[in-house]
Structure 1
Amino acid sequence: MSKTRVFRFAPSPNGLLHLGHAYSAMLNHALADGCGGRFLLRIEDIDQARCRPEYEEAILRDLCWLGLGWETPVRRQSEHFDLYQQALDRLRALGLVYPAFLSRGQIRDLVASKEAKGRPWPRDPDGAPLYPTEERSLDASLTGAWIAEGRQHAWRLNMDAAIAATGGRLTWQEGGRGPAGESGTVVAEPQRWGDVILSRPDAPSSYHLSVTIDDALQGVTDVVRGVDLFHATSVHRLLQRLLDLPEPRYRHHGLVRGSDGRKLSKSNRDTGIAAYRAAGLSPAGLRTLFARDGLVLH
């Protein structure tokens, strides 16, 4: 007997949904409907400083206008920080994470100093400089004393140790296409991200950790999302292996772009779903806009 497939749409309530979100939500819903599967809505609100109730209300309103239905209750990440902490504690017990004390400003100054001397600093797929690795080897008694003093810190994954602990090559099955046309069996390259954050003072869990835990606990079988998250899949596959979690199928779709070719952003309110609704466009009319970027709903 075949397993029921489970899809999800997981927006963050830190702004209004734009046309790109509408496409991803509608695509996931259509794929679930087409195979008799389940469609879940998850609210990814780990960033308590930026996420607001009014944005969550707007998300629900926009999705209803699009004609989408989802299972209830809706999962909210802010209600499950204890589960993310348990996963972090497990990785700590394995010796795979360490406390990191450098601020963004300190990292920026360090990188600028190195590059000023003609030493290019490695960067992750999003273009951000990789975190320095010197703190991996700090004495535990020293870092423990700093933490006891209340010194601000994040918990980072020791990427080299984590990769060594997996015991083999990591891959995933890609049903869409990556930035360079990747499809089929894709080899994960988590090392490109360096020592990623798993928890920080203003957010008890990172995107990477919480989304990996949530997908497993919700039984998500198919992760369908924008190609801008293609490379992040490498980190998620690493965490799945380390935490003995199931591997879903992945499909990364193209992005809806603005008239100038840029990726849409929540900060550009003119691209919001609500703006199209106010202008009199119907949900069916959005398909024409998707087609402009070569995007289909199947």
Structure 2
Amino acid sequence: MTFRTRFAPSPTGPLHLGHAYSAILGHDMARARDGAFLLRMEDTDLQRSKPEWDAQILDDLTWLGLTWDEPVLRQSEQLRSYDPALERLEAMGLLYPCSCSRSQIQAALAAPQEGVTHEVYPGTCKRRDMTSRQPGDALRLHLDRALAQFVGIYPEFEETGPAHVGTHRIDPDHALAEIGDIVLSRKGEDIVAYFLASALDDISQKITDVVRGEDLFGFTPIQVILLSLLGHAIPRYHHHRLIRNEHGKRLAKRDDARSIATYRAAGKTPADIRAMVGL
């Protein structure tokens, strides 16, 4: 099978050195294997995603010398494509409506960030059924029922990243204690959770190897669970090291001093950027 990977930024701010490392690494891995490198804009956050950041990302990646082999996939242009998966999970009895606070739901829909504690949902709405769903309610995955679908034979995934290399089997106790009933969507606002949209797009783009930061390793099991429930093959995962500042903190988009645009303006070259991130 042809090696296929992707870089999937959210156009909510400038690319920084950490993004550059991930993009270059994935690109170089694909080229070394005569494979395909794809670009996807994970812009389901319609409020924070901006066309100017989308354009800046494309410009920065081109300046870095990266090329992609298919048209850019933008999640915002295919929001209805995730509906069949939600409908199937609903038909399996694995979803329930949640009317908890908007801020809680909004935070749960986004990709996790290192240093931001993931609060396991306490189950406030867990006894509700789908007939009680109201406008504005979110949909949560009933993880207990989802895990019960596997009848004790839990799915596995292969990890090729340096810190977690090997085969990992889903641990149901860990998933319940550390991940819980995640939000998958919010009704009436065309918002789909990172966990679901990203996993489904990896399937639709025929990604064989997901290359991304090690901060997402802990949430890979929930994507593996979702894909397994929906009958999809599981890609391999490669969670790479993070690029950190002098204090050991993971870079963030608000750290403009380390944005690619800032380095470009200062006269740095693509070779300089590669050297700065250890490539």
Q: TM-score, normalised by structure 2?
A: 0.90
Q: State the distance in 2 between where 1:88 and 1:199 align.
A: 8
Residues 178-217 of structure 1: pairs in structure 2 closer than 5 A: 181-189=163-171, 190-191=175-176, 192-201=178-187, 202-217=189-204
Q: State the distance in 2 between where 1:264 and 1:127 align.
A: 17
Q: State the distance in 1 between where 2:87 and 2:267 align.
A: 51
Q: Which has the larger radius of gyration?
A: 1
Query: Structure 1's 127 and 163: CA in aligned 2 closer, same or farther, altered over 3 A?
Result: same
Tell me by how many angstroms 1:260 deviates. Answer: 1.8
Gaps of 5+ in 2: 106-113
Q: For structure 1, which segment, 185-194 or 93-102, has the greater mean C-alpha deviation from structure 2 after superposition?
A: 185-194
CA-to-partner distance for each residue in 1:214-258, whole Å, 9 max, x for gaps? Answer: 000110000011001101111110011001111111111000111
Q: State the distance in 1 between where 2:255 and 2:75 align.
A: 25
Q: State the distance in 2 between where 1:106 and 1:31 align.
A: 37
CA-to-partner distance for each residue in 1:19-58, whole Å, 9 max, x for gaps? Answer: 0000000001100000000010011110000000000000
CA-to-partner distance for each residue in 1:178-216, whole Å, 9 max, x for gaps? Answer: xxx432012334322100010025452100000111000
Is contact 2:98-2:139 (8 Å) kept? yes
Q: State the distance in 2 between where 1:52 and 1:242 align.
A: 33
Q: State the distance in 1 between where 2:190 and 2:130 align.
A: 23
Please state if 1:156 is matched with 2:140. yes
- Equivalence for 1:169: 154
Q: State the distance in 1 between where 2:116 and 2:170 align.
A: 16
Query: Structure 1's 263 and 250: CA in aligned 2 closer, same or farther, altered over 3 A?
Result: same
Is contact 2:17-2:243 (8 Å) kept? yes
- Equivalence for 1:52: 50
Tell me by how many angstroms 1:264 deviates. Answer: 0.2
Q: State the distance in 1 between where 2:95 and 2:240 align.
A: 32
- Aligned-residue Cα RMSD (Å) equals 1.9
- Equivalence for 1:16: 14
> Which amino acid in 1 is paired with 2:119?
P
Is contact 1:85-1:204 (8 Å) kept? no
- Is the partner of 2:18 in helix, strand or coil? helix
Please state if 1:283 is matched with 2:270. yes
Gaps of 5+ in 1: 108-123
Residues 24-39 of structure 1: pairs in structure 2 closer than 5 A: 24-39=22-37
Tell me by how many angstroms 1:105 deviates. Answer: 6.4
Q: TM-score, normalised by structure 1?
A: 0.84
> Which amino acid in 2 is paired with 1:183?
V
Residues 107-146 of structure 1: pairs in structure 2 closer than 5 A: 127-141=117-131, 143-144=132-133
How many residues are aligned here?
265
Is contact 1:85-1:205 (8 Å) kept? no
